[in-house]
Amino acid sequence: MLDELGKLIGAEHVLEAPANSPYNSDASRRSGLEGRADAVALPGSAEQVTDVVRWCYEHDVPIVPRGGGTGLVGGAVPTSGGVVVSLQRLTRVRELEPGLWRMHVEAGVRTRDVQRLARENGLFFAPDPGASEQSLIGGNVATNAGGPHALKYGVTGAWVAGVEAVLAPGELVEIGGWARKDVAGYDVKSLLVGSEGTLGVITAVRLRLLPARETALALVVFLADRAAGCAALLDVLAGGIEPAALDFLDGVTLSFVAGGYPGEVPGRAGFALLVEVDGSAEEAERARDAVVDVVGTRAVAIDQPADRGALWRWRDSFNGVVTGVHGAKVSEDVSFPVERLRDGLERFDEIAALHGLRSCSWGHGGDGNVHATVLVDPAREDELAAAEAVGAELFELVGRLEGSVAAEHGVGVLKGGLLAHQWDARAVELHEQIKRAFDPKGLLNPGKKLARMRG
Amino acid sequence: MLDELGKLIGAEHVLEAPANSPYNSDASRRSGLEGRADAVALPGSAEQVTDVVRWCYEHDVPIVPRGGGTGLVGGAVPTSGGVVVSLQRLTRVRELEPGLWRMHVEAGVRTRDVQRLARENGLFFAPDPGASEQSLIGGNVATNAGGPHALKYGVTGAWVAGVEAVLAPGELVEIGGWARKDVAGYDVKSLLVGSEGTLGVITAVRLRLLPARETALALVVFLADRAAGCAALLDVLAGGIEPAALDFLDGVTLSFVAGGYPGEVPGRAGFALLVEVDGSAEEAERARDAVVDVVGTRAVAIDQPADRGALWRWRDSFNGVVTGVHGAKVSEDVSFPVERLRDGLERFDEIAALHGLRSCSWGHGGDGNVHATVLVDPAREDELAAAEAVGAELFELVGRLEGSVAAEHGVGVLKGGLLAHQWDARAVELHEQIKRAFDPKGLLNPGKKLARMRG
């Protein structure tokens, strides 16, 4: 296999994958979630990706596309062996047209570089999922990644004008393009977005950009408790204010991360909202004043940090800090309709408590998107089992509250089989039929984004 | 059949469809595009729609879903007979939550009423396709309708949070919901949006709304000719201005409709842009000033009509006025990448001239969306044949310029088989496989949105 792949893309671009290879895992660090690739291919062009996919499809070899490896659900883990197809060498910016607000980039361009290139050209690429230093834009599109600014600007898919992908059995196609209105075919572009490599391998994406925002201002609203916090969040929306971001952290999370806050966390705070407003200077200031006005009576304190960057760096630290509290944590990325956020958070804490685990939550509150977390000692099997049970009950809760079991981190391996919590039987069946139409041999990222578990 | 359907939904809600029944045609008025329904069913609830679809599917009877009948491509025409399933009695507003910016409406609510209800509650439903007085929201979603404000706000599908639909063989399902982030399954919601009733019958939609815009201001920029007009349009975008709408009309169109303009059309004008900017008062004024600044040196004149409503009513009159010039017209709704708009318009005029027809174009210029029109005498077969030939060459041109053969009016019958101008063979094949997965018997709006013509 290594020889054959080497002939297609050059021997130096085909690697073995011993047990400790980084290509056998992702960032989920969930025990038991390791794979073992038979080979790792690093093609240098969309045409070479096509050659690799065609060879694998012909030889019944699983194909596991891989971006930056920052996924949290095992989507890029070669659990069935096969060839990991890393897109990391497809780094070309094929087109960047500042005057037309658009960029055509290959899948291996870092998300941070997409954001930077936009900024340097007076533009703005709105999606800002975590780990953008490492994640590749192709992976962000393949998982339809979210982030805090999805509240105002939508998730990654909202900015994808076209997708170039290798479809089975090995055809390079392009769906969509720069024509901004197009209903000529079924929305196959949106099917590929978020399909996690199970319908095709994305090799390049056409991205729409916006003119740069003149100003963005941040506020941190501290509240006494969850009830006040969720009420304040709804008040902001009901006040007709459109924040760019409206994140939250609950009291337990706040207690863990307060030390790193770039400012003073009031002692009485048991919940916090991170609000960002943007637009022209007047507009952003007006929105900020409106937020202060609307949440004023509920708030314990309102902080207006001058350094927005420091605030978001603090926000990015939550994951690591919370992991460190007890040795490990299990976070599930789910969403609720926003008016049920309070209910969802309360019940999640009850579920965790019943299983004897300490819980905390944070996330993108305006989107109802919760990273529901339990703290575990990684050496204690009973706690790991309890975390598993909490997850199962959480997913049922999400179904009852009409939320989503997978909000922005994908389905991968870890959330396989959960779709029936949300979808009717006929829709679940269609999910599977779509997969079969795109991938009759079942070789494209097998075992990922499954609607039902096999057997 | 009438009896059986009557038992399901009440005899008074099942109609015959004689040759002159309005249920046999749509608003396209294209000769030869008439159907003949075996029956018209007017179910009163999603459950009754389900019953009708299930009965038809069991008895191998085609199902032709119908909204307001304002389509222009034959999408609602029962060309293969069967049962026309009108959604006009599904008029319930299931939920309207102003503080949460959302509305859950049945498919038969008029688009204008969706817009009005939003407005009356301090909100804004952005999509504004033509014919909103008559069109039903279910039809707008099923065709993924556009309109001028799609430039800033996106097409209808961008505002659909969830779709309730009857899928074959007769299952009522809901995909999506109020959870704003959801990657649990493939994007089947987006597949249903714009599927023109060929994958399922949409019975209700969950719509996202925005807080009302404080101000909208309109400008009409008159330019000497197409070259100046298209250059001015690109200058607006390159200036970092985000207009809410940026429509155009070419010189010939302008000459036809100048009489109805609510103001003075300068004699030297050979092209015009209709620009709308919106936001807070300051923001809108600033954007207006920026437009004036950017296009000032190119413009023949810039008009700032006080009555924005009158301006858009004038815009809505183009279709009728142009039809009246020569007795009839054939308009094709296509799109180009915006920087190729000038090229597309020029070559379209050349094609029409070679076939001896007078042509004119208008449309949503910022989106590259052109209603490319030839004037014909409806009594002259040679002109109708020439119009047909012009259309065929136009679609080839669109393919070469990487535009879309169907921008915002759908595919229906009239644009069947054109997808190969845009998509690679494997993608075309997948379009057809998706159809087969959703509709194994081929009974859902047969003959519509075909990627390839049969035989």
Q: Over chain B, what is the mean pLDDT? A: 96
Q: Which residues from A are below 8 Å from B339, CB to CB?
A: 97, 100
Q: Strand order of the sheet with strand A160-167? A: A93-97, A102-106, A201-208, A160-167, A171-176
Q: Which residue has the tokens 């810039």?
A: B302
Q: Which residues from A are below 8 Å from B369, CB to CB?
A: 180-181
Asked if the model's pLDDT at residue B348 lies above 70, the reply is yes
Of A363-377, B21-35, B320-334, B431-445, which gets the smallest average pLDDT?
Answer: B21-35
Q: Which residues from A are below 8 Å from B451, CB to CB?
A: 185
Query: Of the candidates A24, A90, A105, which has an alpha carbon nearest to the alpha carbon of residue A52?
Result: A90
Say if CB A185 and CB B427 are below 8 A apart: yes
Asked if the model's pLDDT at residue B30 lies above 80, the reply is no
Q: Are strands A271-279 and A215-223 parallel, antiparallel or unpaired?
A: antiparallel
Mean pLDDT of A426-437: 98
Structure tokens at A378: 């990684």
Mean pLDDT of A200-217: 97
Distance of CA B403 to the CA centre of its chain: 16
DSSP conformation class of B233: H
CA A406 – CA B428 distance, rounded (Å): 30
Candidates B211, B237, B422; nearest CB to A99 = B237
At a CB cut-off of 8 Å and minimum separation 6, what does B382 contact?
Answer: none
Say whether B187 and A191 touch across the interface (CB within 8 A).
yes
Asked if the model's pLDDT at residue A166 lies above 80, the reply is yes
pLDDT grade for A284, boundaries at 50, 70 and 90: very high
Find which of B123, B155, B182, B408 to mutate to test the A interface (most A CBs within 10 Å of its CB).
B182
Residue B425 confidence (pLDDT): 96
The distance of B272 to chain A (nearest Cα, Å) reads 20
Residue B28 confidence (pLDDT): 87
Mean pLDDT of A405-420: 96
Q: Cα-Cα-Cα-Cα dihedral of A190, A196, A201, A207, to 10°?
A: 50
CA B432 – CA B436 distance, rounded (Å): 6
Q: Which residue has the tokens 């038991």?
A: A32
Candidates A151, A185, A404; nearest CB to B179 = A404
Residue A453 confidence (pLDDT): 85
pLDDT grade for A29, boundaries at 50, 70 and 90: confident
Candidates A101, A338, A411; nearest CB to B100 = A338
- Provide the 10 A C-beta neighbour count for residue B399: 16
Say if CB B366 and CB B243 are below 8 A apart: yes
* Residue A209: closest C-alpha in chain B: B240
pLDDT grade for A28, boundaries at 50, 70 and 90: confident
pLDDT grade for B130, boundaries at 50, 70 and 90: confident
pTM, two decimal places: 0.97
The distance of A175 to chain B (nearest Cα, Å) reads 7
Find which of A180, A230, A396 to mutate to test the B interface (most B CBs within 10 Å of its CB).
A180
Tens of pLDDT, residue by residue over B235-246, are 999 999 999 999
Tens of pLDDT, residue by residue over A66-125, are 999 999 999 999 999 999 999 999 999 999 999 999 999 999 999 999 999 999 999 999
Tens of pLDDT, residue by residue over A385-404, are 999 999 999 999 999 999 99
pLDDT grade for A454, boundaries at 50, 70 and 90: low
Structure tokens at B435: 């159809």
Say whether B183 and A194 touch across the interface (CB within 8 A).
yes
pLDDT grade for B265, boundaries at 50, 70 and 90: very high
Asked if the model's pLDDT at residue B427 lies above 70, the reply is yes
Candidates A211, A339, A431; nearest CB to B242 = A211
Residue A316 confidence (pLDDT): 93
Query: Of the candidates A247, A213, A219, which has an alpha carbon nearest to the alpha carbon of residue A233?
Result: A247
Residue A335 confidence (pLDDT): 98
Q: Which residues from A are below 8 Å from B238, CB to CB?
A: 98-100
Say whether B415 and A99 touch across the interface (CB within 8 A).
no
Query: Of the candidates B127, B112, B197, which has an alpha carbon nearest to the alpha carbon of residue B160?
Result: B127
Interface predicted TM-score (ipTM) over 0.95: yes
pLDDT grade for B152, boundaries at 50, 70 and 90: very high
Residue B454 confidence (pLDDT): 66
Structure tokens at A222: 């501290």
Q: Which long-range contacts (CB under 8 A, 24 or more apart) does B353-360 make?
A: B355/B386, B355/B387, B355/B389, B355/B390, B356/B386, B357/B383, B357/B386, B357/B387, B357/B390, B358/B252, B358/B326, B359/B252, B359/B390, B360/B250, B360/B252, B360/B253, B360/B256, B360/B322
DSSP H helices, B401-440, are: 425-438
Residue A130 confidence (pLDDT): 87
pLDDT grade for A445, boundaries at 50, 70 and 90: very high
Residue B147 confidence (pLDDT): 95
CA A391 – CA A373 distance, rounded (Å): 9
Tens of pLDDT, residue by residue over B295-340, are 999 999 999 998 999 999 999 999 999 999 999 999 999 999 999 9
Asked if the model's pLDDT at residue B455 lies above 60, the reply is no
Residue A32 confidence (pLDDT): 74
CA A131 – CA A140 distance, rounded (Å): 10
Q: Strand order of the sheet with strand A301-303? A: A301-303, A215-223, A271-279, A245-250, A359-364, A369-376, A328-335
Say if CB A364 and CB A275 are below 8 A apart: no
Say whether A188 and B434 touch across the interface (CB within 8 A).
yes
Residues B130-161 as b or e (16 or more Cβ within 10 Å = b) = bbbeebbbbbbbbbbbbbbbbbbbbbbbebbb
Residue A115 confidence (pLDDT): 98
Find which of B104, B143, B180, B336 to mutate to test the A interface (most A CBs within 10 Å of its CB).
B180
Q: Are strands A83-86 and A160-167 parallel, antiparallel or unpaired?
A: unpaired
Coil, helix or strand at residue B449: coil
Query: Of the candidates A307, A138, A157, which has an alpha carbon nearest to the alpha carbon of residue A147?
Result: A157
Q: Strand order of the sheet with strand A83-86? A: A14-15, A39-41, A83-86, A63-66
Of A25-39, A40-54, B65-79, which gets the smallest average pLDDT?
Answer: A25-39
Residue A1 confidence (pLDDT): 93
Mean pLDDT of B109-135: 95
Q: Which residues from A are below 8 Å from B435, CB to CB?
A: 186
Say whether A242 and B210 touch across the interface (CB within 8 A).
yes
> Helix A341-354 vs helix A381-400: angle between axes, to the nearest 10 degrees?
150
Q: Which residues from A are below 8 Å from B403, CB to CB?
A: 177, 179
* Residue A401: closest C-alpha in chain B: B179
Say if CB B71 and CB B409 are below 8 A apart: yes
Q: Over chain A, what is the mean pLDDT? A: 96
Candidates A150, A185, A240; nearest CB to B431 = A185
CA A374 – CA A379 distance, rounded (Å): 15
CA A106 – CA A216 distance, rounded (Å): 29
Burial (CB < 10 A; 0-12, 13-18, 19+), residue A169, is: middle
Say whether A434 and B437 touch across the interface (CB within 8 A).
yes
* Residue B144: closest C-alpha in chain A: A183
Mean pLDDT of A255-283: 96
The distance of A453 to chain B (nearest Cα, Å) reads 14
In 3-state terms chain B splits into helix, strand, coil percentages (rounded to 5) of 40, 20, 40
Structure tokens at A211: 């003119």
CA B96 – CA A64 distance, rounded (Å): 44
Structure tokens at A346: 């309360």
Query: Of the candidates A194, A175, A8, A164, which has an alpha carbon nearest to the alpha carbon of residue A83?
Result: A8
Q: Cα-flanking dihedrals φ and ψ of residue A173, to 5°?
A: -130, 160
Mean pLDDT of B265-287: 96
